Structure 1
Amino acid sequence: MNEEKLIFSDSHAHNNPIKGIGAKKIAEKFRENNGWFIAFLNNPAWDYSDSYIFDVDEYLKLVNLHMRDCKSATETGLKVKCFAGIHPAEIDKLAEYGLPTLKVRDFALKTIEKIFDMCKEGLLDGIGEIGRQHYKIRMDVAVITQEILESSFTFAKDYGCKIQLHLENIKGFTVENIASLAYKTGLKSDQFLIHHATSSIVEEAKNRRVWTTYPGIIEGLKSLFTTIRNPEYVLIESDYVDSKKEGGRITYPWNLPDIQLSLLEKGDVSKYFLEKINIDNVESFFDVKY
């Protein structure tokens, strides 16, 4: 751990070499502002081509594009972990598009199995994001989504893959439900995290030793840092969307250091908290060393 200056991490960001600046440029900008680690995740298919994809081989071409882009970021010296999955929004969008329910199910299950094979072979560092929608959907879509989630937990347990989860944030339900699923499938709690958690979900998850990522916006982080008793099992994310049109959507990875340093200067967080969240916790969950 560097005692002279703080270094920072981003545990969940999206790269897009087609419509954005790509992983290497993101990594360069983040490293220039004391970033040391980033986890990249792929995007829904339409973020690359403005069209829906329901062919397994075509979808895997996008995953391979994502992996090559992730690899380019390692050339900057930044530590990088590469995740890929099927975003739950893709399931309901395919159903809305008119694809028969059973074809949506077949496509999604076959695709996620192939992606897990890539993780098993060491081509990917983990799977994500996968999970459930956090908005109203059709009943058949909900069933498919849950089946994919349960299958993913089994694959993750069998192959030793990390998972980043996109879930609803329901106090008293989400953490308990996902911890129960992990117990039933034998998936250890250090193999998955709940991405974009609320502060109440972070607190519940910590009590169950479940990992979470929290969005790195200044108002939210101030509330989180003054609420949680200790920084165990929590990570910071930008949830950056690499799109020249959307401008990052949540925040930029290279803004995370300035946001956290401003809270440190105001006394809203301690140096110990920032070191724990940005270094120790990252090393623990992602199996990476600073």
Structure 2
Amino acid sequence: MKFADAHSHINPIKGMGYKISEKFKSNGGWFISYVSASPWDYFDDFNGFESYRKMIEYQIKECKKSNEIGIKTVCIAGFHPEDIDFLIDKIKMSPSSVLNLGLKVIEYESNLCKDGILYGIGEVGRQHYKTMPERVAISQIILEKAFEYAKDYDCMIHMHLENADIDTVKIIDYNVNKANINNKRKIVFHHAKPSMLIEINNLGYSSTVYGIDEVLNFVLYSLPPIFMIESDFPDNPAYKKVVYPWELPTKIVEISKKFNLSEEYLYKVNIDNIKQSYGIEP
């Protein structure tokens, strides 16, 4: 059996870079989706749009190296909702300036997606914690603009959202329908709560679940294979408590044996669902 990591991060400056893929491959991995972090996770100085452009450039190079060693790899870059709070609180930018920067960044990313250099836009979405209302409004504008680009250029979207169970799913479905996006499988609810998964699937979207034991024990035992699994690995030693991509295969196998899951079930989660969402197969 081959295993997939449907949402991870990569940081060649402060982390392991494409060597993540080397370790993942040696443990049965075949596919990984690398999603951008924030520029300050890479660089000590922040230079506005140029920092985002430079970060994405590094990310694209690492994704190429990952593909070259035999791991099917896609590259996704976004403007994380938490960036909005950081830029206002730490960089002291005004909310309107942050909005303008965010729109410029995702326009740049969407053009890279159009040209086949990036596979999609992400993470975009809304804060999952309490914040000022104008900051949520900025997040929503950027998310809706990302949906427009997804429609125009057939880009995947990885969403970071509040977890209001199926209400979150229904609100997003309204936005996606408004944007007239036909291929909803390329709209991914990243880090989805297990209680949201059936509604996500019924409405035609994709989802990733966090690969910790608590979540995997629940979804693999209780739900049909309607999700993908992610490590959400930050690739930054500053984060101490993490899930490693190369540990996912062992975790999945051990829990699957405990519940006597079939090979067909695991194939659906690790291969069929990747093919359906990303259009990529081994």
Give the TM bin, normalised by the shorter chain: over 0.9
Alpha-carbon shift at residue 171 of structure 1 (Å): 1.6
Match of 2:214 among 214, 219, 223: 219
Alpha-carbon shift at residue 58 of structure 1 (Å): 3.0
SS in 1 for 2:166: coil
The separation in 2 between residues aligned to 1:37 and 1:146, in whole angstroms, is 30
SS in 2 for 1:82: strand
Residue 276 of structure 2 corresponds to 284
Q: Is the 8 A contact 1:44 1:90 kept in 2?
A: yes
Alpha-carbon shift at residue 135 of structure 1 (Å): 0.4
* Corresponding position: 1:69 with 2:62: yes
Alpha-carbon shift at residue 219 of structure 1 (Å): 2.1
The amino acid of 2:152's aligned partner reads D
Residue 57 of structure 1 corresponds to 50
Match of 1:159 among 147, 153, 159: 153
The separation in 2 between residues aligned to 1:153 and 1:264, in whole angstroms, is 36
The separation in 1 between residues aligned to 2:37 and 2:235, in whole angstroms, is 9
Correspondence 1:82-161 to 2 at 5 A: 82-97=75-90, 98-161=92-155
The amino acid of 2:268's aligned partner reads K
The separation in 2 between residues aligned to 1:106 and 1:179, in whole angstroms, is 25
Match of 1:169 among 155, 163, 169: 163
SS in 1 for 2:280: coil
Q: Is the 8 A contact 2:220 2:256 kept in 1?
A: no
SS in 1 for 2:37: coil
Call closer, same or farther: CA 1:172–1:284 in 2, change over 3 Å: closer
* Corresponding position: 1:198 with 2:190: no
Q: Is the 8 A contact 2:165 2:193 kept in 1?
A: no
CA RMSD in angstroms comes to 1.3
The amino acid of 2:277's aligned partner reads F
Gaps of 5+ in 2: none
SS in 1 for 2:259: coil
Q: Is the 8 A contact 2:106 2:146 kept in 1?
A: yes
The separation in 2 between residues aligned to 1:127 and 1:172, in whole angstroms, is 23
Alpha-carbon shift at residue 203 of structure 1 (Å): 2.0
Residue 15 of structure 2 corresponds to 20
Match of 2:262 among 257, 266, 270: 270
Match of 1:237 among 226, 230, 236: 230
1:129-184 deviations in whole A, cap 9, x for unaligned? 11111001111111111000001101110111011111111123110011111111
* Percent identity over paired residues: 39
The separation in 2 between residues aligned to 1:226 and 1:264, in whole angstroms, is 8
Match of 1:81 among 74, 77, 80: 74
Alpha-carbon shift at residue 197 of structure 1 (Å): 0.5
Call closer, same or farther: CA 1:187–1:243 in 2, change over 3 Å: same
SS in 2 for 1:221: helix
Q: Is the 8 A contact 1:95 1:141 kept in 2?
A: no
Q: Is the 8 A contact 1:86 1:130 kept in 2?
A: yes
Alpha-carbon shift at residue 268 of structure 1 (Å): 5.2
* Corresponding position: 1:258 with 2:247: no
TM-score using structure 1 length = 0.93
Aligned length: 280
TM-score using structure 2 length = 0.96
The amino acid of 1:118's aligned partner reads L
Q: Is the 8 A contact 1:225 1:268 kept in 2?
A: no
Q: Is the 8 A contact 1:226 1:268 kept in 2?
A: no
